[in-house]
Amino acid sequence: MIYLRFPTHEDRQLIEDYKNECLTYDNVESIHGSANLTQFSFDEWLENVQKDRYKETVREHLVPAHTFLIMENQTLVGMCNIRHELNDFLYHIGGHIGYSVRPSQRRKGYAKQALRLAVQFLQEQKGIQRVLVTCDEDNIASSCTIEACGGILDNMFVSENGEVIKRYWIE
């Protein structure tokens, strides 16, 4: 059974390990659902995710969001970022929820469990009944995750740089 919890200063090493594993194995520059973990020092990142939870303190040009660690016992298996509202970019491309599972923990059902918890968080804590979840057209793992959680495909959106985004609603 997994659970979502807030990151704290004590998680520095867990999160550094998570970041290094994703960057090494995925060969990417940013990590989905991590609130741009790769772009800041740990202390700056933690301060950002704490500020971003509230309308009063969220960083400029962003909507309030919760960033959670996806935990199985004491193991950090993934991260998710849950947006409390949609702006134009999120409505077309980003959706309400971003998530990743670390490469060594994939294909164990963690993304499906985490997405269900994230949807439940928005519905129960934020009163949002229709949740938008998106993925790139060629991200099979993510589209399977969304569909397994009841996502209904609304449409495909083509971004300015030609990426095709699948937009799903979960009720």
Stretch that binds ligand COA, among 52-60, 63-71, 85-93, 142-150 (CB under 6 A): 142-150
* Residue 5 · residue 69 · CB < 8 Å: yes
Kindly state whether residue 154 participates in binding ligand COA, applying the rule CB under 6 A: no
Site size toward ligand COA, by CB under 6 A: 19
Stretch that binds ligand COA, among 11-19, 37-45, 50-58, 141-149 (CB under 6 A): 141-149
* Residue 18 · residue 102 · CB < 8 Å: yes
Binding ligand COA (rule: CB under 6 A), the pick from 112, 117, 157, 169 is 112
Tokens of 84: 């409390």
* Residue 78 · residue 102 · CB < 8 Å: yes
Smallest gap, in angstroms, from Cβ of residue 86 to ligand COA? Answer: 15
Collect all residues with Cβ–Cβ distance below 8 Å to 157 and sequence separation of at least 6.
Answer: 92, 93, 134, 164, 165, 167
List interacting residues with ligand COA (CB under 6 A).
Answer: 32, 99-101, 106-112, 135, 139-142, 144-145, 148
